[in-house]
Homo-oligomer: A and B are copies of this chain.
Amino acid sequence: MFTRSLLIKLTLLISVQFFVDVNMHAQAKKPAYAIVIHGGAGVITRQNLSPEREKMYILALDSAVSIGEKILANGGTSLEAVEKTIRFMEDSPLFNAGRGAVFTNEGKNELDASIMMGSGEMAGSVAGLTNVKNPISAAIAVMTKTSHVMLAGKGAEKFCAEAGLEIVDPSYFYTEARYNALQKALKDESDNPDKKRGTVGCVALDQFGHIVAGTSTGGMTNKKFGRVGDAPIIGAGTYANDASCGVSCTGHGEFFIRHTVARNVAAMMEYAGKSCQEAASYIIHEELKKVKGEGGLIALDKDGNVVMEFNSEGMYRAYAKPGEKVIKIFND
């Protein structure tokens, strides 16, 4: 009996090895991994971004994408890469997420984030956090430690504290630039809210073939009444499916919710046979542009093809694959 059991085990081992070999061979032309990030889309032009600020953003985008790239290159998971990359951007006051988030009408910072894994369709989301240092980690905790997808407000904060997430005083999120932006918005009746947005996002494909997408934001300057944008909405701001793609959006959130943008990219690939690039281009430049829905998205398909599309004047963005790194801001 012992020999027979051993034989079965050996046969299984050889079968698995064979499967792995065949599988690796079939994927030979794909990059081993890929990562793409955004730091918000909007009125970002050479005219309104000084060379000094431009350098700061380039440096921050480079640092962020490199964090995730290193994890992926070392065989880490796309979930870890997305979390660590977004945490860096949340901690940077340059981006409208975490520290540096924009202010609500009441002079508070309210943070939203979401995450989705392409395998097993697991997802997590938080909305309206005021004291959790890294909302993306809160979204991941909702996904991994509860049976729920979305938690909001005071209840979500209570969960975060119990789950051991880092809690900070709301003043941690304060930055002078964002506070001044609120003061200007409150004064200026003709203020265009379109200019006061931003979000960070990351999509990663790891060496196991798994895609993860995440998004984190402070929302809209001067937002009122507990407004929730697309960032914490699975299917709107964030979506991932290993069979098609992972997507993270940024822009005028209301349009991204109504058009279920992130899910729509995947649906056009899944059901209409479009490529990720074709689907994204159509949605951003045709569908959303028609209704003046400003913004953009980043995406990765299952083969590691990178998409970075936007219909605004600029989008902070970067991607990395083995032997390739691109960092861009303007529309060129």
Asked whether A228 lies within 8 Å of B127 as measured between CB atoms, the reply is yes
**Taking the complex as formed, is A1 at the interface, i.e. its CB lies under 8 A from any CB of chain B?**
no
Interface code A234-245, partner B: CB below 8 Å = 1, 0 otherwise?
Answer: 111001000000
**Taking the complex as formed, is A122 at the interface, i.e. its CB lies under 8 A from any CB of chain B?**
yes
A236-B234, A260-B234 as given contacts; A227 in contact with B272, CB under 8 Å: no
Chain B, Cβ-Cβ closest to A279: B271
Q: Chain B residues near A32 (CB, 8 Å)? A: none
A149-B254, A233-B233, A233-B235 as given contacts; A259 in contact with B121, CB under 8 Å: yes
Asked whether B263 lies within 8 Å of A155 as measured between CB atoms, the reply is no
Distance between Cα atoms of A272 and B272 in the complex (Å): 6
Q: Chain B residues near A159 (CB, 8 Å)? A: 224-226
Q: Chain B residues near A123 (CB, 8 Å)? A: 257-258
Asked whether A257 lies within 8 Å of B149 as measured between CB atoms, the reply is yes
**Taking the complex as formed, is A151 at the interface, i.e. its CB lies under 8 A from any CB of chain B?**
yes
Distance between Cα atoms of A225 and B225 in the complex (Å): 20
Distance between Cα atoms of A127 and B128 in the complex (Å): 12
Asked whether B257 lies within 8 Å of A260 as measured between CB atoms, the reply is no
Q: Chain B residues near A147 (CB, 8 Å)? A: 254
Asked whether B257 lies within 8 Å of A267 as measured between CB atoms, the reply is no
**Taking the complex as formed, is A58 at the interface, i.e. its CB lies under 8 A from any CB of chain B?**
no
Q: Chain B residues near A271 (CB, 8 Å)? A: 267-268, 270-272
**Taking the complex as formed, is A150 at the interface, i.e. its CB lies under 8 A from any CB of chain B?**
yes
**Taking the complex as formed, is A184 at the interface, i.e. its CB lies under 8 A from any CB of chain B?**
no
Q: Chain B residues near A180 (CB, 8 Å)? A: none
Distance between Cα atoms of A258 and B116 in the complex (Å): 8
A40 CB to nearest B CB, Å: 19
Asked whether A155 lies within 8 Å of B272 as measured between CB atoms, the reply is no
Q: Chain B residues near A122 (CB, 8 Å)? A: 258
Interface residues of A in 26-64 (CB under 8 A from B): none
Asked whether B225 lies within 8 Å of A151 as measured between CB atoms, the reply is yes
Distance between Cα atoms of A65 and B155 in the complex (Å): 36
Asked whether B267 lies within 8 Å of A228 as measured between CB atoms, the reply is no
Q: Chain B residues near A236 (CB, 8 Å)? A: 234-235
6 nearest A-B pairs in the assembled complex, by CB-CB distance: A155-B226, A271-B271, A267-B267, A271-B272, A159-B225, A235-B260
Q: A128-B152, A235-B235 are in contact. List 11 more A-B contacts (CB 8 A).
A: A121-B258, A121-B291, A122-B258, A149-B254, A150-B257, A234-B257, A263-B263, A264-B267, A267-B271, A271-B272, A272-B272
20 contacts between A and B (CB under 8 A): A116-B258, A121-B291, A128-B153, A147-B254, A149-B228, A149-B254, A149-B257, A150-B257, A151-B226, A155-B226, A158-B226, A159-B225, A235-B257, A239-B260, A260-B263, A264-B267, A267-B267, A267-B271, A268-B271, A272-B272
